[in-house]
Amino acid sequence: MTAMPLSTAEDPRAQAQAEIRAVRAQISQLDQAGLDLILTKARSHYAWQDRPVTEEQLRRLYDITRQGPTSMNCSPARFFFVRSVEGKQKLVPALKAKNVDKVLSAPVTVVIAEDLKFWERMDFLFPHEDRKPLFRDKPAYVDDTAARNATLQGAYMMIAARAMGLDCGPISGFDNAVVDEVLFKGTSLRSNFLLNLGYADETAIFAKLPRLPFEEACSFL
């Protein structure tokens, strides 16, 4: 007996293919204004308007961010949205002096962390094949995978924030060990970098720094 073909609604693979075709039919690429907003003319910001970022916005921000690709869909990043004065004060001892005001004045500071036990969720994240044995008792591989992919997810959050009309200011000028001691002691989490979110006070920005030209940064092999 010949099997009846599944409808798109019954076949997840066919549904996924239909969805991406529908997206491409609606928009095939961003125009220059869209590219300017998220990258080419976007800026890292250091001063902020007294304007809140809502929980609803942060939930939407994560919902967009989580769609970005990671190795085997491992999704090791964990995001801690620090909004309270008390929470910000916990970060202050870890910050370089020049970054204290940036964090205290931002409506939200995201501690982007990575969970070294991310692989224990692979049964949910990669359900069609058991990938846990790839990571079990392999701390170096876990470490490398977590660091690379959580950093990617942090970058996705920056682009998503800009796409939503928010401004951001990433910070690596802090002591990760201090943050980990204060926030993550006794857990499988460790900090990667900080990300300030809000609506920028543009009067604080300066001329954009140069980028390497194609000929210096790129090659054809």
When pLDDT is cut at 50, 70 and 90, the band that residue 7 belongs to is low
Cα 220 to Cα 214, 215, 217: the distances in Å are: 11, 10, 11
Give the integer Cα–Cα distance in Å for 109 and 128. Answer: 36
Structural domains in the chain, sorted by start: 44-201 (3.40.109.10)
pLDDT, position 218: 98
pLDDT, position 12: 87
Q: Is 140 exposed, middle or buried (0-12, 13-18, 19+ CB in 10 A)?
A: exposed
Prediction pTM value: 0.92
Q: What is the mean pLDDT of the chain?
A: 95
Tell whether the model's pLDDT for residue 8 goes beyond 60: no
* pLDDT digits 0-9 by tens, 158-186: 999 999 999 999 999 999 999 999 999 99
Give yes or no for a contact between 88 and 82, defined as CB atoms under 8 angstroms apart. yes
* pLDDT digits 0-9 by tens, 75-114: 999 999 999 999 999 999 999 999 999 999 999 999 999 9
Tokens linked to 213: 């030209």
